Amino acid sequence: MCGVVGYIGGRNAQPVLLNCLARLEYRGYDSCGIALDGGSLRVCKDIGKIAELAKVVPQLDGLAGIGHTRWATHGAPSRINAHPHLDCSGTIAVVHNGIINNFQVLRRRLEAEGHSFISETDTEVIPHLIEKYYRGSLEEAVVAALGEIKGSYAVIVLAAGESKLVVARNGSPLIIGVGDREHFIASDVPAVLDYTNRVIYLEDGDLAVVTSGGVSVTSRGAGVERKETRILWSVEDAQKAGYEHFMLKEIHEQPKVIRDTLVNWVSVADSVVDIAAMRRNLESMLILACGTSYHAALIGKYVIEELLSIPVRVEIASEFNYYGQTLARTAAIAITQSGETADTLKTIRKLRAARCLVIAITNVVGSSASRLADHTIYTWAGPEISVAATKSFMVQLMVLYWLVMSYSRIDPGRLAELVMDLRGLPEKVQRVLGRGDVISEYASYLAQHEDVFFIGRGINFPVALEGALKLKEVSYIHAEGYAAGELKHGSFALLGSGTPVVAILARDNTYEAMLSNIKEAKARGAPVLAVAEEGDVAIRELADFIITVPVVDAIFSPVVNTVALQLLAYYTARERGCPVDTPRNLAKSVTVE
């Protein structure tokens, strides 16, 4: 979940490494560091931000170097635990993203052999293993060392005087940016876009030797070719463009990304995904995801069951991996924004081993999910920098809507109405964005509280879950999402004048029941903030505050309602002075289990 970078070429590596690390800040971190080879290795690292490190780091000359942003897993944030880590001789440096499951066994064995450790991290065993196996060939020593490791990793190895970087990945993302007699290594594309838009995606099991002049890749001992991919978005796309925060910018980009996704609604690796054939030949469909993508999956369940009449199970990927499932005659959709979510990748491998058809929905061309799945459907969100997912969630919904509607056999007149409403969503979302001032006022009220309940029913129950998640992750307010009918089964005990309830309504078969639930909350003294359609008269008599959204077909109500809740979370966090784009303890891409 941290970030690794590397550089080798003709320019001084220090400013390149610091700049690349700054481009990865969105991934979340608590410490950072760099190491350069100038004939001997020089290392500078500390807790805190990259900008602070840049102020104190001495001039480190060298044409090759590595860098790291750490999100603590093994050992508290500290200068000693920060990467890069060195071997005993101080001639081999390593940065690592991932988790080494057997590091304690390896560490005890290495200590018995005379190696001295100074940190609490799992990563430190890697340079010591490389030192142990080094016999004049750095890449052979890295291969031998990684052969001892159980777990996930993206590693970059730098050795004094070698004029090369050795990199490897297994379960954690790693890319190589290709320049003019220079190369850049990073966990993610934004890190290198200041220098190149030509990228090589490494695959699990790959080891690459990178010099200024070229890249040589092997996989399990055999040479392989990994093609270059040209990135179609620029570094400017990953800038704030005048917005105070990336999150606000990305919320406001949603009308555009909806249009882009509907225009380019599917880019499938091999052939069109025929869900109509699935309906004839399959007994059920399984959707797997984590976090915000899981909430998109829950909405997808309602849409698929209504328009395709296929029973759908939705599973949290991290739970699905640890208990048995009956998978016969099942197709699966795996949703992952980054295409590198560790738990979701594990489920894809499990499903493929069971010979299930797997469709991946992801935002990243060339990601691990796209290579593992039978078919890939790409979303068109562009770069999303804020840790809190907003526009990536929206395009996941767009793909699910359009994919299902493309194969629906409902009444043609009803289908035509849905298609027209779907294509009108960018304008409807823009109207919600225009109500930012009103939502900001309500957020100022919400910011005074420490507990908030979100309630919804039917297709808007997942919206309540997503609204609560957004509020808690960026504003640090404790928030819970509930199916509205469940409040009376225990949670009423927590309601009172100091516990606001955010109620999400749609004019569908749940509407009257939602009004009753709001009355029940009001009867217990809870202030109610309702998200409701324009022209809804009944809600005016019940709610203390109302965010109005444009009228859409109920099946699309999650779109406009979610945008309103994203703005509510954003303005609440801003009011509380929280670091909106980089919430504490969180990382953008969760690449470890």
Q: Which residues are catalytic?
A: 2, 588
- CB count, 10 Å around CB of 521? 24
Q: Enter the DSSP assignment of 180.
A: S
- Burial of 353 by CB count in 10 Å (0-12 exposed, 13-18 middle, 19+ buried)? exposed
CA nearest to 532, candidates 456, 468, 449, 440: 456
Rounded distance, CA 507 to CA 421, Å?
Answer: 15
Reduce the DSSP state of residue 238 to 3 states and report it: helix
CA nearest to 32, candidates 472, 593, 582: 582
- Burial of 213 by CB count in 10 Å (0-12 exposed, 13-18 middle, 19+ buried)? exposed
Do residues 192 and 128 lie in contact, with contact meaning Cβ atoms separated by under 8 Å?
no
The DSSP annotation for 366-421 comes to T-HHHHHSSEEEE-------SSS-SHHHHHHHHHHHHHHHHT--S-HHHHHHHHHH
- Write the single-letter amino acid at 286: L
CA nearest to 7, candidates 276, 250, 194: 194
Contacts of 245 (CB under 8 A, 6+ apart): 386, 570, 574, 580, 581
Question: Taking the chain, what is the end-to-end CA distance rounded to the nearest angstrom?
Answer: 10
Rounded distance, CA 55 to CA 21, Å?
Answer: 14
- CB count, 10 Å around CB of 413? 8
Reduce the DSSP state of residue 332 to 3 states and report it: strand
- Look at the block and give the residue holding tokens 């009867």: 523
Helices 412-423, 425-433: inter-axial angle, 10-degree rounding: 40
Strand partners, 289: 316
Contacts of 514 (CB under 8 A, 6+ apart): 455, 456, 457, 484, 503, 505
Per-residue H/E/C for 20-36 = HHHHCHHHCCCEEEEEE
Contacts of 486 (CB under 8 A, 6+ apart): none
Strand pairing category for 215-219 and 330-336: unpaired
Structural tokens at position 183: 């190369």
- CB count, 10 Å around CB of 113? 9
- CB count, 10 Å around CB of 563? 28
- Write the single-letter amino acid at 438: V
